[in-house]
């Protein structure tokens, strides 16, 4: 005759069985391990969504940052507990009435320097006060200017800002853009040119934004370029090529983003990767898919 189990023994037996079942379930379906890539997205690609709504969605998707924003947007980011991995460039008019600071007219012209230095001297402390670190800048278009002269002019203008950038621990980051499709005549359109500019400026507080889409158009050989020049790169942007649209499914375009993300990780990079593609489908679904693909 089997001994009768007490109520306490029966409960203990049931609890043990349930625990064993739970362990088996966890072993069969392990929890996903978060990737080391820190995710960001450029707000300008989602113009039909308010910043507040986009921040809410960004947190749900798993982003830590929304970028290319101005100081007026920082309080909204703060309410959502989000970072700004790359702050937008300031713009203003020179004494001659020329608007400078954007992609086409910037540091490669000495006549722009006084205005640009004043603009960035004001913007750098604002970035630092918000707890952010990266501030975008541009070379400007060639407009007939020789690349070597443009290099010298950019270095001269940027060196005027180095002391302020170093004091506030803010990095000025020049974006590499393609001059074949999207930004005709843009000067900082090759990695080698940008790296030489970094050497001439000579400060850890001046680096490059390596836009994977743009540099695929100009140079290709993306992974080797990243491996070789990682020390000069402060930030990365993504988009599918051709078209600058979402890159999922992968067989719809030519860039292998999981492999590129692994290459970025292997350099020891611990910054952010900003999604900067133009969605052609549901924008938030496309962003979610891109983040998932880049989580390696």
* 184 pLDDT more than 80: yes
Mean confidence (pLDDT) of the chain: 90
Q: Where residue 177 falls among pLDDT bands split at 50, 70, 90?
A: very high
Higher pLDDT, 18 or 47: 47
CA distance 197 to 208: 9
Across the chain, which distance is largest between two alpha carbons, in Å?
A: 105
Q: State the CATH number of the domain containing residue 259.
A: 3.20.20.150
Supply the DSSP string of 248-280, one letter for each residue.
-SGGGSS--HHHHHHHHHHTT--SEEEE----S
Q: Where residue 23 falls among pLDDT bands split at 50, 70, 90?
A: very low
Residue 160 lies in a domain: yes
Span of 149-158, 211-220, 250-259 with lowest mean pLDDT: 250-259
Count of domains for the chain:
1
For the four alpha carbons of 173, 174, 180 and 182, in that order, the dihedral sign comes to positive
Residue 25 lies in a domain: no
Residue 4 lies in a domain: no
Residue 23 lies in a domain: no
* 226 pLDDT more than 50: yes
Burial status of residue 77 (CB atoms within 10 A of its CB: 0-12, 13-18, 19 or more): buried
Residue 183 lies in a domain: yes
Residue 73 lies in a domain: yes
What domain range includes position 263?
Answer: 33-294
User: What is the per-residue pLDDT across 94-126, written as a single tens digit (0 to 9) for each?
Assistant: 999 999 999 999 999 999 999 999 999 999 999
Encoded tokens for 139: 């070379």
Residue 235 lies in a domain: yes
Residue 19 lies in a domain: no
Degrees, nearest 5: CA angle 211-279-273: 35
């Amino acid at each position: 005759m089997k001994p009768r189990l007490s109520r306490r023994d029966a409960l203990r037996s049931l609890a043990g069985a349930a625990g064993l079942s739970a362990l088996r379930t966890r072993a069969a379906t392990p929890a996903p391990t978060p990737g080391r890539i820190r995710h960001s997205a450029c707000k300008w690609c989602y113009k039909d969504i308010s910043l507040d709504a986009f921040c809410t969605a960004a947190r749900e998707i798993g982003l830590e940052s929304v970028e290319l924003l101005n100081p007026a947007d920082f309080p909204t980011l703060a309410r959502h507990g989000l970072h700004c991995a790359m702050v937008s460039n300031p713009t203003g008019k020179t004494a001659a009435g020329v608007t400078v600071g954007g992609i086409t007219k910037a540091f490669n012209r000495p006549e722009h320097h006084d205005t640009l230095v004043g603009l960035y001297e004001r913007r750098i402390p604002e970035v630092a006060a918000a707890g952010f670190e990266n501030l975008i800048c541009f070379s400007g278009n060639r407009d007939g200017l020789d690349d070597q002269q443009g290099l010298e002019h950019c270095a001269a203008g940027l060196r005027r800002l180095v002391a302020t950038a170093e004091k506030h621990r803010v990095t000025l980051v020049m974006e590499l853009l393609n001059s074949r499709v999207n930004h005709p005549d843009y000067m900082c359109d090759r990695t080698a040119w940008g790296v030489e500019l970094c050497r001439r400026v000579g400060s850890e507080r001046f680096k490059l934004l390596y836009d994977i889409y743009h540099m695929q158009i100009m140079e290709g050989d993306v992974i080797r370029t990243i491996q070789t020049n990682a020390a000069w790169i402060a930030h990365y942007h993504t988009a599918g090529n051709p078209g600058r649209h979402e890159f999922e499914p992968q067989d719809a375009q030519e860039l292998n983003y999981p492999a590129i993300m692994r290459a970025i990780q292997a350099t020891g990079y611990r910054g952010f990767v900003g999604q900067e593609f133009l969605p052609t489908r549901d924008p938030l679904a496309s962003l979610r898919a891109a983040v998932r693909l880049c989580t390696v």
